[in-house]
């Protein structure tokens, strides 16, 4: 499915999308590794090494395609559920999980990695993506910003404001909505009445696309088109990927209180990793050895992640005050000295 | 608008001074961009941004859709690529939709990223009452922002400070909520706008020396305090006035030094008293000066009520008579 909702657009980017075999294999590899790291993170959360972990199990096609659709100067604006996209965006998994480890709020350099910190508030980061895209245009650069969010976030005012402003300024932004059916416990039928979230693009006068978010090939094709559409000055794109949140909201959630387990079955049958594996195998493009190599690499990375996350992070109270201000007011300096001199008794 | 060369010799309004500060900052640094609602061709509802689009072009000063949270969010995103946005919230109470962006991101992004993503943004907010406006055009919301770590809160009380404080706010790397007392927008000053910034944020200025009591204030209440001090002088009391110029940082040293001489102090501001800026100032000065205080520090503030309609606002705002009453209680 790939319903294009063309409206009163000034132009339309229809690039020659040619997915290479290498791109598909890279996608499969990143999905397998991503899922393995995601499972490791869930386990680490259950064992108390992470304070919490929102899993993206079942959404790997979206996660990997989002990161792999971007060019070398483009920025990613992820949410708390997009750790796998951030792994794929080549950020060290330990640094991605810094926030969830309770070590610090963000463990990596956003500018060096062209990736904003995980956004915990819903949809507020969509406007940040628009700002970055507008700044890019002002500076004569060709960067694209991709903002990730879920179906729940589309109910937020900031989502609307971001799309509207991006439309008015033709900002090079891709708003990628992973419609996974739930906002914690609230099903998407309680979030919106629209037939499709992609239809909302019509109201903003921008391009909207709907794609099967469990189909890696379709998802990365649509996202690449969207990124190039935005990059070439045709304005923002809203992409809705239909998928399913197989896991609970986080390890602290209990989905049995609000949905039947059987509901997941059709989605499990359309598992994105199984589908791409099956496709490449049927085409004779995936040797059994290659698959085993990927799985081995995933195991190794998961073991490495566990090993490093289990090392207790250094808790230096000086960090509390170091970066609140560039030039801190006197009362913070007093408190800093007080905290550094006190002996902590739990 | 007066040109920079003339301004040293002509009378200017606070609006002119703010406009010149924006011009000078934009000329000095091409990363400074100005945007908000009606700030482009119109020049802002108070004309503070008048002519900036004409001078600097539509990519340096431009109108945004009416979406305060979006405006704030866009500004934050722009800082990732090194821009230094100055955004206007059209009226105090119209800035409230942007508070989540300001509290959750503007105030915290530097800390969240351990200094890797500074957010050098100035949010200009016309604030305060006394202009006979409707309910949502008269609020004083500085305490909300002063309570939020990561933000600085400046407010000029004079035409000269309007220029120097805004220049300073734009030049620094911390986000500043810049409260412009709208009832002073059309105040004129013979005083030339200083060439070099003389106001140092965090450093209060003594507007009037006094030996009997000290009024501590900022923004729109400065002129009320000066009038009260003058009236008190007619009754034989020597009352000093301190203009804080910034709520965050709070320059407690200057205030404490003055209190050490007088032993009596009153904090005056328009915003609500309960859990307000005056409460913090009073508490801190009491901690510092308890032994030398001759009387409890008083507060003369806006009442703890929603902003009243124009015909009743004089009951709400700090006035000369309310300050004199408070002085009578402690002198």
- For B268-306, how does the pLDDT look when each residue is reduced to its tens digit (9 = 90+)? 999 999 999 999 999 999 999 999 999 999 999 999 999
Is a pLDDT exceeding 60 seen at residue A11? no
Q: Do domains B4-189 and B205-330 have the same CATH topology?
A: yes
Tell me how far apart the alpha carbons of residues A276 and A274 are, in angstroms, rounded to a whole number: 6
- Cβ distance of B81 and A126 shorter than 8 Å: no
- Cβ(B230)–Cβ(B324) under 8 Å? no
DSSP code at position A102: T
Tell me how far apart the alpha carbons of residues A36 and A103 are, in angstroms, rounded to a whole number: 22
- Residue A300: per-residue pLDDT: 98
Q: Is residue A146 part of a domain?
A: yes
Task: For residues A199 and A215, state if they share a domain.
Answer: yes
Is a pLDDT exceeding 60 seen at residue B157? yes
CB pairs under 8 A between A and B: 144
- Cβ(B309)–Cβ(B261) under 8 Å? no
Chain A 105-164, residues with CB within 8 Å of chain B CB atoms: 105-106, 109-111, 116-117, 121, 124-136, 138-139, 141, 143, 145, 157-158, 161-162, 164
- Cβ(B175)–Cβ(B119) under 8 Å? yes
Tell me how far apart the alpha carbons of residues B311 and B205 are, in angstroms, rounded to a whole number: 33
Residue in chain B nearest A141 by alpha carbon: B81
Task: For residues A174 and A225, state if they share a domain.
Answer: yes
Q: For residue range B251-264, what is the model confidence (pLDDT) as tens digits?
A: 999 999 999 999 99
User: β-pairing, B176-181 with B122-127?
Assistant: parallel
Q: Is residue A212 part of a domain?
A: yes
Tell me how far apart the alpha carbons of residues A164 and B249 are, in angstroms, rounded to a whole number: 36
Is a pLDDT exceeding 80 seen at residue A157? yes
Task: For residues A335 and A193, state if they share a domain.
Answer: no
- Residue A139: per-residue pLDDT: 97
- Residue A2: per-residue pLDDT: 39
A166 in contact with B at a CB cutoff of 8 Å?
no
End-to-end CA distance of chain B: 46
Q: Is residue A268 part of a domain?
A: yes
Task: For residues A234 and A337, state if they share a domain.
Answer: no
CA-based angle B73:B77:B81, to the nearest 5? 160
> Of A64, A76, A54, nearest to A28 (Cα)?
A64
Task: For residues A266 and A241, state if they share a domain.
Answer: yes
Collapse the DSSP code of A145 into the 3-class scheme (helix H, G, I; strand E, B; otherwise coil) and give the result: strand
Q: What is the mean pLDDT of chain B?
A: 93
Is a pLDDT exceeding 50 seen at residue A221? yes
Q: Testing the interface with B: which of A115, A329, A338, A339 to mutate, by most B Cβ within 10 A?
A: A329
CA-based angle A9:B63:B75, to the nearest 5? 95
B205-330 fold: Rossmann fold (3.40.50)
Q: Is B311 a catalytic residue?
A: no
Residue A75: list chain B partners with CB under 8 A.
80
B249 in contact with A at a CB cutoff of 8 Å?
yes
Task: For residues A215 and A323, state if they share a domain.
Answer: no
CATH assignment at residue A161: 3.40.50.970
Task: For residues A200 and A84, state if they share a domain.
Answer: yes
Q: For residue range A41-99, what is the model confidence (pLDDT) as tens digits?
A: 999 999 999 999 999 999 999 999 999 999 999 999 999 999 999 999 999 999 999 99
Tokens 């690039």 -> residue: A15
Task: For residues A322 and A183, state if they share a domain.
Answer: no
Q: Is residue A265 part of a domain?
A: yes
CATH of domain B4-189: 3.40.50.970
Task: For residues A77 and A226, state if they share a domain.
Answer: yes
Task: For residues A135 and A169, state if they share a domain.
Answer: yes
Is a pLDDT exceeding 70 seen at residue B241? yes
> Domain residue spans in chain B?
4-189, 205-330
Q: Is residue A2 part of a domain?
A: no
Distances (CA, A) of A130 to A77, A79, B70: 10, 15, 9
- Residue B188: per-residue pLDDT: 86
Tell me how far apart the alpha carbons of residues B71 and B63 are, in angstroms, rounded to a whole number: 10
Collapse the DSSP code of A265 into the 3-class scheme (helix H, G, I; strand E, B; otherwise coil) and give the result: helix
Confidence category of residue B10, pLDDT binned at 50, 70, 90: confident
Q: For residue range B47-103, what is the model confidence (pLDDT) as tens digits?
A: 999 999 999 999 999 999 999 999 999 999 999 999 999 999 999 889 999 999 999
Q: What is the mean pLDDT of chain A?
A: 93
Tell me which residue range forms the domain holding A302. 21-315
Within B19-172, strands assigned E span 32-36, 61-63, 84-88, 122-127, 152-154
Tell me how far apart the alpha carbons of residues A251 and A279 are, in angstroms, rounded to a whole number: 32
- Cβ(A100)–Cβ(A42) under 8 Å? no
Q: Is residue A8 part of a domain?
A: no
Non-local (6+) Cβ contacts of A60 within 8 A are: A31, A34, A35, A38, A84, A216, A272, A273
**Which among B59, B69, B114 has CB closest to A323?**
B114
- Residue B187: per-residue pLDDT: 86
- Cβ distance of A326 and B202 shorter than 8 Å: no
Over residues A141-164, mean pLDDT: 98
B172 in contact with A at a CB cutoff of 8 Å?
yes
Task: For residues A235 and A334, state if they share a domain.
Answer: no
Give the containing element (helix H, strand E) for B271.
strand B265-272
Q: Is the ipTM of this complex over 0.90?
A: yes
Tell me how far apart the alpha carbons of residues A230 and A169 are, in angstroms, rounded to a whole number: 12
Task: For residues A129 and A111, state if they share a domain.
Answer: yes
Q: How many whole angstroms from its chain centre is CA B95?
A: 15
- Residue B270: per-residue pLDDT: 97
Non-local (6+) Cβ contacts of A5 within 8 A are: A196, A198, A199, A201, A202, A207, A208, A209, A210
Q: Is residue A96 part of a domain?
A: yes
Residue A134: list chain B partners with CB under 8 A.
74, 77-78
User: β-pairing, B176-181 with B152-154?
Assistant: parallel
Distances (CA, A) of B313 to A345, B186, B270, B304, B325: 51, 20, 11, 13, 19
If one counts the domains in chain A, the total is 2
Q: Is residue A340 part of a domain?
A: yes
């Amino acid at each position: 499915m790939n319903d294009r909702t063309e409206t009163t657009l000034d132009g339309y980017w229809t690039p020659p999308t040619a997915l290479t075999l290498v791109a598909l294999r890279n996608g499969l590899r990143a999905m397998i590794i991503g899922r393995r790291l995601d499972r490791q993170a869930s386990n680490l959360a259950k064992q108390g090494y992470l304070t919490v972990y929102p899993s993206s199990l079942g959404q790997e096609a979206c996660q990997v395609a989002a990161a792999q659709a971007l060019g070398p100067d483009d920025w990613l604006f992820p949410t708390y559920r997009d750790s796998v996209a951030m792994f794929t965006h080549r950020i060290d998994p330990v640094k991605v999980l810094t926030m969830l480890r309770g070590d610090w709020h963000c463990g990596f350099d956003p500018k060096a990695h062209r990736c904003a910190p995980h956004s915990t508030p819903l949809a507020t980061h969509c406007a940040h993506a628009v700002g970055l895209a507008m700044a890019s245009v002002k500076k004569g650069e060709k960067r694209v910003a991709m903002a990730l969010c879920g179906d729940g976030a589309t109910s937020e005012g900031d989502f609307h404001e971001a799309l509207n402003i991006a439309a008015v300024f033709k900002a090079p932004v891709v708003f990628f909505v992973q419609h996974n059916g739930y906002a914690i416990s609230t099903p998407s039928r309680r979030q919106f009445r629209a037939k499709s979230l992609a239809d909302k693009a019509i109201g903003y006068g921008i391009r909207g696309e709907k794609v099967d978010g469990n189909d890696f090939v379709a998802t990365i094709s649509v996202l690449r088109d969207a990124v190039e559409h935005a990059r070439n000055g045709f304005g923002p794109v809203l992409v809705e990927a239909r998928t399913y949140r197989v896991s609970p909201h986080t390890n602290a959630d209990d989905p049995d209180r609000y949905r039947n387990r059987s509901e997941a079955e059709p989605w499990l049958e359309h598992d994105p990793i199984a589908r791409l594996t099956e496709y490449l195998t049927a085409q004779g493009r995936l040797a059994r050895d290659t698959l085993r190599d990927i799985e081995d690499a995933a195991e190794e990375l998961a073991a490495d992640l566990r090993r490093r996350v289990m090392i207790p992070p250094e808790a230096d109270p000086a960090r509390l005050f170091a970066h609140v201000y560039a030039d801190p007011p006197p009362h913070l300096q007093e408190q800093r000295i007080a905290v550094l001199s006190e002996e902590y008794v739990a | 608008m007066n040109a920079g060369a003339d301004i040293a010799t002509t009378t200017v309004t606070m609006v002119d001074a703010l406009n010149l500060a924006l011009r000078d900052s934009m000329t000095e640094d091409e990363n400074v961009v100005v945007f908000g609602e009606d700030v482009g061709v119109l020049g802002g509802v108070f004309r503070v941004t008048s002519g900036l689009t004409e001078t600097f072009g539509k990519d340096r000063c431009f109108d945004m859709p009416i979406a305060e949270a979006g405006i704030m969010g866009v500004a934050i995103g722009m800082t990732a690529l090194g821009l230094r946005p100055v955004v206007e919230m059209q009226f105090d109470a119209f800035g409230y939709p942007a508070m989540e962006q300001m509290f959750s991101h503007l105030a915290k992004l530097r800390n969240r990223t351990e200094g890797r993503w500074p957010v050098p943004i100035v949010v200009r907010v016309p604030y305060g009452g006394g202009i006979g406006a409707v309910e949502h055009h008269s609020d004083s919301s500085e305490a909300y922002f002063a309570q939020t770590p990561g933000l600085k809160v400046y407010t000029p009380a004079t035409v000269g400070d309007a220029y120097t404080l805004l220049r300073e706010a734009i030049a620094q790397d911390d986000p500043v909520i810049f409260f412009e007392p709208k009832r002073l927008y059309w105040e004129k000053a013979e005083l030339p706008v200083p060439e070099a910034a003389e106001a140092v944020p965090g450093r209060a200025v003594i507007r009037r020396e006094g030996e009997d009591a000290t009024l501590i204030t900022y923004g729109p209440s400065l002129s009320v305090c000066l009038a009260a001090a003058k009236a008190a002088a007619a009754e034989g009391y020597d009352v000093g006035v301190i203009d804080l110029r910034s709520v965050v940082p709070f320059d407690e040293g200057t205030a404490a030094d003055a209190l050490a001489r007088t032993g009596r102090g009153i904090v005056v501001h328009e915003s609500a008293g309960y859990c307000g800026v005056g409460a913090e100032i009073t508490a801190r000065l009491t901690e510092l000066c308890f032994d030398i205080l001759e009387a409890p520090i008083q507060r003369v503030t806006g009442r703890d009520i929603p902003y009243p309609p124009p015909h009743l606002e004089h009951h709400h705002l700090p006035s000369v008579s309310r300050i004199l009453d408070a002085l009578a209680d402690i002198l």
